[in-house]
Amino acid sequence: MNLELPLPLIDRIVARALEEDLGAGDITTEACIPEEQRAVARGVARKELVCCGVPVARRVFETVDPSLRFEAFVAEGAKVAPKTTLFSVAGSACAILMGERVALNLVQRMSGVATLTRRYVDALPAGSSTRVTDTRKTTPGLRLLERYAVRKGGGKNHRNDLGSAVLIKDNHIVASGGVRKAIEAARARAPHTSRIECEVDSLDQLDEALDARADIVLLDNMDTATIEQAVRRTRGRAMLEASGGITFERIAELARAGVDAISVGALTYAAPAVDIGLDFEV
């Protein structure tokens, strides 16, 4: 059992995806393939990638036909070479064909996120304690899968949803009348177990956030020189997160500047699906 992928949640995603693709049946398979035809199909990496999502592919095939036999060959989060077999599925050829596209769509998407995340994490300097994290810029309906893929790629997760943490953004600051007012209002209302994070876009706002005792300060769209100044000014009084305009090329310099976390929306919104094929044997 994979505790990171709760079956009730995964099954809802799988059911929606299968309804979208298979709701009206599969007229090609029904017309061309005898019901009794058996087959073995192998999920094969076409390029180097970080494997992720094989348990989800399993649930797709098991949902289409519980009698299908599924076997995983690669651990989640493992980096594999081209032509590596990730999994196999055996049984009814019709059932395999009906689940093929949905299973591949999900595992390709998740492996794509994990592969891109690993690239960013590997760019950190050796021995760095800086975290590379995701954001809420996820595909609607697939956040659970994409955030799991970030973890399998070696990254960390930011807040999962609007109810899981206090994060005061620029529009909250404008609407509430300033950094200090927003932080004080949040602290008065939030549970005592919740830390207060506030976004700032200048060193003056940083000073205001620190004076208001923010626990975490998000340094938004700052160049590296300004972030270095922010680290010196903060002197460990708050956790610092760099965000906005983060490119792969900046990861190492931002870590060396001394931030605690670097949040990268591109891990999910810009990750391309990787190429994984399903090779049939009958």
Show which residues are catalytic: 101, 137, 169, 199, 220
Alpha-carbon distance 9 to 6, whole Å?
Answer: 6
Which residues on neighbouring strands pair with residue 72, listed in sequence order? 87
Alpha-carbon distance 143 to 155, whole Å?
Answer: 15
Longest Cα–Cα distance in the chain: 73
Q: Give the residue among 255, 217, 256, 212 at the shortest CA–CA distance from 234.
A: 217
Alpha-carbon distance 186 to 133, whole Å?
Answer: 23
H, E, C per residue of the chain? CCCCCCHHHHHHHHHHHHHHHHCCCCHHHHHHCCCCCEEEEEEEECCCEECCCHHHHHHHHHHHCCCCEEEECCCCCCEECCCCEEEEEEEEHHHHHHHHHHHHHHHHHHHHHHHHHHHHHHCCCCCCCCEEECCCCCCCCCHHHHHHHHHHCCCECCCCCCCCCEEECHHHHHHHCCHHHHHHHHHHHCCCCCCEEEEECCHHHHHHHHHCCCCEEEEECCCHHHHHHHHHHHCCCCEEEEECCCCHHHHHHHHHHCCCEEECCHHHHCCCCCCEEEEEEC
